[in-house]
Structure 1
Amino acid sequence: MTTFPTMDPELAAAAAMLPNLDFADLTTARERFTAMTEAMLAEVSYEGVTWRELAAPGPEGAPDVPIRFFTPPDAARRDALPTLLWIHGGGFAIGQAKVDDPFCIDLVRRLGIAVASVDYRLAPETPYPGPLRDCYAALRHLHANAAELGVDPERLAVGGQSAGGGLAAGTTLLARDRGEVPVAFQLLQIPELDDRLETRSMVEFVDTPMWHRPNAVLSWQYYLGGNGTAAGSDAEVSPYAAPARAQDLRGLPPTYLSTMELDPLRDEGIAYATALLHAGVSVELHSFPGTFHGSSLLATAAVSARGAEEVIVALARGLQVERSSS
């Protein structure tokens, strides 16, 4: 693997131990990712939160969409809770909602909000628009059943990481255009947004840890399926699939967007934040130095801890809630 002089020393020490998730062998990539995350989840405490599984009616002809719904234990005695619809990452092709249980639990403990973590169907078995429709179905379910679930329908945020960030951006675009669910805030962490794969960071970063151009090419090919091809294609690709293609970003909610310095997705995230600003959307953008895609998994690194705290601050502001100090 290439050596990157600007990589944060704390991250560099651990980068070599991370698994090789080669999307050319998707079965093995899924197995390695599951093994890595199962070890992490074995240490998770669910103390201080309540969770249950919801089933949102799926898109027409599709199965129901599972949602892991986390709330404070005293939610029944509170006013309607601000709620985050959270969408996990994994290049559209690997991962499960439960992988992000630690993140969801921390948000509930720190902010006293509800978090709904959606288990969308994965590509290539279910290409676009299936995963996006699952995420939108989950959002509609939260809004339609707000009273029963104890959700504040006026304080719904949509967020995600990596491919989940791209799905979050697409879901928020769809919500704006359909006018069925008001989204108060979007949280886009290291989002995968552009199937054209033409930015400088995407062209240059072919051997970065966790995520690189070869995986990105395959990720988009899996996701787009018969609707288009990745890597500079002129095929008609919907902006709901690849939000970087959206021509009109007006009317979208306030946004927090983060990128990592040594990430092929870096420049498309920065470009999307800039386009939002040009459309009159309030945006906070942070590109973390010395980091790589998924380096936040190395939570003991100081830069990872700083990024995690920023998410708490941004969501507290976006959903108008007070945050706990721990």
Structure 2
Amino acid sequence: MTPVRPVVDAELRALSAELPLMPELTPEVVATLRGLPSAPLDALLDGRDVERREVTVTAEDGAEIPLTVLVPPGAVNAPCVVWIHGGGMIMGDRFANLDIPLEWLDRFGAVVVTVDYRLAPDVTGTTLVEDCHRALAWTAENAAGLGADPAKIVVAGISAGGGLAAGVALLARDRGGPALAAQVLICPMLDHRDATTSTRQFTGPGVWSREMNAYGWRAVLGDLTGDDVPAYVSPAVAADLSGLPPAYVDAGSAEVFRDEDVAYASGIWAAGGRADLHVWDGGFHGFDALFPAAALSAEARRTRTAWLDRLL
């Protein structure tokens, strides 16, 4: 028996009626999606008084990792957000969904650092999360020159980027730094096992389906299976969620990642940590990124930003 899908919010259902829903991903489809032009950063920055810096950091294997740094005018001891884009770990770039952290730049003068980590299957295993951790390390080392407070660095991401942000927080804890003030995990991709009720509910065509999710995980895991899968790659398998920075975790009720995200927040609580969990009734995967003006999207963004504002 096929599980029944939760109802989608009426406004979002109408707005998404024309979205192309892919039943599956193939190497050819991914190549086409990767070839689409990047988000127009100039349009996002239009009307904002922001200094843009392009930086390249070097990974341990010698690869060059591009970062874009956005600094508000007169930044002094400002909060700083290391932003990690989504795309199933197989597509996307550092300009994707950048409007989300730009809201935090506007609201509380945050410096934004966004990272172009390498994608699967070009690289596999921990390489993606290591690239993101390298961006975090560079940010902490250069905080003063960016006008940022090293005690107010936040790692944040959406979808695959949310999962990588959780992995970065685990890496930073286990390596003794850099210190993080918070982690913001927006509909994060956390569990390679793909076995929850919510994944089964979203088998078949969708914004992000169980089949698409399985394709992304196969690409990033490569030859890793079973107990060989590190928690830094698939944070849901972490045996110890203690000692992590406060987490904001949210998801839609009508999406693949709902149950694994609820379980992750519950695991943080069980370890004595802080997590603020929101499951938005009627939200599908990435709803507030795709349709930011919808009423549910505006509420989700406003709530997330208010949490960060209180924390920082």
TM-score, structure 2 length as denominator? 0.92
1:249 partner letter: L
1:308 aligned onto 2:309: no
1:273 alignment partner in structure 2: 265
Distance of 2:34 and 2:285 partners within structure 1: 15
1:236 aligned onto 2:218: no
**1:270 partner SS:** helix
1:31 alignment partner in structure 2: 32
1:254-273 mapped onto 2 (5 Å cutoff):
254-273=246-265
1:100 aligned onto 2:97: yes
Q: Structure 1: any 5+ residue segments left out of the alignment?
A: 229-233, 321-326
1:145 aligned onto 2:113: no
- CA drift of 1:94 comes to 0.8
**1:140 partner SS:** helix
Q: 1:27 to 1:70 in 2, by over 3 A?
A: farther
2:46 alignment partner in structure 1: 46
Q: 1:295 to 1:207 in 2, by over 3 A?
A: farther
Distance of 2:53 and 2:11 partners within structure 1: 36
Q: Structure 2: any 5+ residue segments left out of the alignment?
A: none
Distance of 1:294 and 1:216 partners within structure 2: 14
Distance of 1:45 and 1:19 partners within structure 2: 28
Contact 1:84/1:114 (8 A) holds in 2: yes
Q: Deviations over 1:45-90 (max 9, x none)?
A: 43222222122222x2232221111121222xxx222111110111
1:170-181 mapped onto 2 (5 Å cutoff):
170-181=167-178
- CA drift of 1:103 comes to 2.2
2:282 partner letter: G
Deviates more, 1:24-33 or 1:106-115: 24-33
1:118 alignment partner in structure 2: 115
Q: Deviations over 1:261-308 (max 9, x none)?
A: 111110000000000011111111000011100211111210011111
Q: Deviations over 1:157-213 (max 9, x none)?
A: 111111101100000000000003111111001011111111111122113631010
- CA drift of 1:130 comes to 1.2
Distance of 1:177 and 1:246 partners within structure 2: 12
- CA drift of 1:150 comes to 2.1
1:201 aligned onto 2:198: yes
Q: 1:13 to 1:37 in 2, by over 3 A?
A: farther
TM-score, structure 1 length as denominator? 0.88
Q: 1:118 to 1:21 in 2, by over 3 A?
A: farther
Distance of 2:43 and 2:12 partners within structure 1: 21
Deviates more, 1:115-124 or 1:5-14: 5-14
Q: Deviations over 1:212-243 (max 9, x none)?
A: 10011111000111223xxxxx3421111110
1:151-166 mapped onto 2 (5 Å cutoff):
151-166=148-163
1:289 alignment partner in structure 2: 281
Distance of 1:53 and 1:5 partners within structure 2: 43
**1:44 partner SS:** helix
